[in-house]
Amino acid sequence: MTSRSREIMRRATELFPGGVNSPVRAFRGVGGEPFVVERGDGPRIWDVDGNEFIDYVLSWGPLVHGHAPPRVIAALDAAMRRGTSFGIPTEGEVALAEAVTERMPHVEMLRFVSSGTEATMSAIRLARAFTGRDVVLKFDGCYHGHADSFLVRAGSGVATLGLANSPGVPQSLASLTVVAPFNDLDAVEQLLRLNQVAAIIVEPVVGNAGFIAPDPAFLPGLRELASRHEALLIFDEVMTGFRIALGGARERFNVTADLTTLGKVIGGGLPVAAYGGRRELMELIAPSGSVYQAGTLSGNPLAMAAGLATLEDLSPAVQECIATGTARLVHGLRESAMRYGVPLTADCAGSMWGFFFRAEPVRSFADAKTSDVERFRRFFHAALDRGVYLAPSAFEAAFMSSAHDDAVIDATLDRLDDAMRASK
Ligand SMILES: *Cc1c(COP(=O)(O)O)cnc(C)c1O
Q: Which of 289, 312, 335 is the last residue of a domain?
A: 312
What is the distance in A from the centroid of ligand 1 to the CA of 398? 14
Going from the Cα of 193 to the center of ligand 1, the distance in angstroms, rounded, reads: 29
Residue 365: domain span: 3-68+315-422
Asked about 389 being catalytic, the answer comes back as no
Pocket of ligand 1, candidates 205, 264, 399: which has the most ligand atoms within 8 Å of its Cβ, to mutate? Answer: 264
User: Are 53 and 87 members of one domain?
Assistant: no
49-81 per-position pLDDT tens digit = 999 999 999 999 999 999 999 999 999 999 999
The pLDDT of residue 146: 93
Last residue of a domain, one of 296, 312, 328: 312
Do 293 and 397 lie in one domain? The reply is no
The pairing of strands 273-277 and 345-349 is unpaired
Q: Give the residue ranges of the chain where pLDDT is below 50.
A: 162
Catalytic residue among 47, 55, 184, 236: 236
Together in a domain, 141 and 177: yes
Q: How far is the CA of 288 from the centre of ligand 1 (A)?
A: 27
pLDDT at 376: 98
Residues 197 and 299 in one domain: yes
The CATH number of the domain where 59 resides is what? Answer: 3.90.1150.10
- Looking at the structure, do residues 306 and 328 belong to the same domain, yes or no? no
Among 243, 278, 312, identify where a domain stops.
312
Please say whether the dihedral angle defined by the alpha carbons of residues 370, 371, 374 and 377, taken in this order, is positive or negative: negative
Count of structural domains, the chain: 2
Instruction: Provide φ and ψ at 418, rounded to 5°.
Output: -65, -35
Identify the pLDDT of residue 424: 87
Is 184 considered catalytic here? no
Kindly compute the dihedral angle of the four CA atoms of residues 143, 148, 149, 152, in this order, to the nearest 10 degrees: 50
**Do residues 148 and 225 both lie within one domain?**
yes
- pLDDT in the model for residue 192: 96
Q: What is the 3-state secondary structure (H, E, C) of the chain?
A: CCCHHHHHHHHHHHHCHHHCCCHHHHCCCCCCCCCCEEEEEECEEEECCCCEEEECCHHHCCCCCCECCHHHHHHHHHHHHCCCCCCCCCHHHHHHHHHHHHHCCCCCEEEEECCHHHHHHHHHHHHHHHHCCCEEEEECCCCCCCCHHHCECCCHHHHHCCCCECCCCCHHHHCCEEEECCCCHHHHHHHHHHCCEEEEEECCCECCCCCECCCCCHHHHHHHHHHHCCCEEEEEECCCECCCECCHHHHHHCCCCCEEEECHHHHCCCCCEEEEECHHHHCCECCCCCECCCCCCCCCHHHHHHHHHHHHCCCHHHHHHHHHHHHHHHHHHHHHHHHCCCCCEEEEECCEEEEECCCCCCCCHHHHCCCCHHHHHHHHHHHHHCCEECCCCCCCCEECCCCCCHHHHHHHHHHHHHHHHHCC
Specify whether 358 is located in the same domain as 268.
no
Show the ligand 1 pocket: residues with CB < 6 angstroms.
115-117, 120, 143-145, 203, 207-208, 236, 238-239, 263, 273
* Residue 115 alpha carbon to ligand 1 centre in Å: 7
* CA-proximal residue: ligand 1, atom 10 (nearest): 144
Q: Report the residue among 59, 149, 208, 393 best suited for mutation to probe ligand 1: largest number of ligand atoms under 8 A from its CB.
A: 208
Q: Say whether both 221 and 338 belong to one domain.
A: no
- The residue annotated as part of the active site, out of 56, 143, 275, 389, is 143
Mutate to test the pocket of ligand 1, among 238, 243, 272 (most ligand atoms within 8 A of CB): 238
Which atom of ligand 1 lies closest to the CA of 264? Answer: 7
Q: Do both 194 and 94 map to the same domain?
A: yes
| Residue 181 shares a structural domain with residue 152 | yes
Query: Do residues 352 and 207 lie in contact, with contact meaning Cβ atoms separated by under 8 Å?
Result: yes
Cα dihedral 202/207/212/218 (nearest 10): 20
Which ligand 1 atom sits nearest the alpha carbon of residue 117? 9
Task: Identify the pLDDT of residue 10.
Answer: 97
Residues 412 and 299 in one domain: no
Q: Is residue 236 annotated as a catalytic residue, yes or no?
A: yes
Q: Give the model's pLDDT for residue 64.
A: 98
- Centre of ligand 1 to C-alpha 143, Å, is 7
Choosing from 258, 264, 347, 417, which is the catalytic residue?
264
What pLDDT shows up at residue 152?
77
Half-sphere exposure (CA, 13 Å, Cβ side) for 300? 20
Atom of ligand 1 nearest to the CA of 208: 15
**Can you tell me the distance from the alpha carbon of 414 to that of 412, in angstroms, rounded to the nearest whole number?**
5
Same domain, yes or no, for 341 and 195?
no
CATH number at residue 305: 3.40.640.10
Query: How far does residue 60's CA lie from ligand 1's centre (Å)?
Result: 9
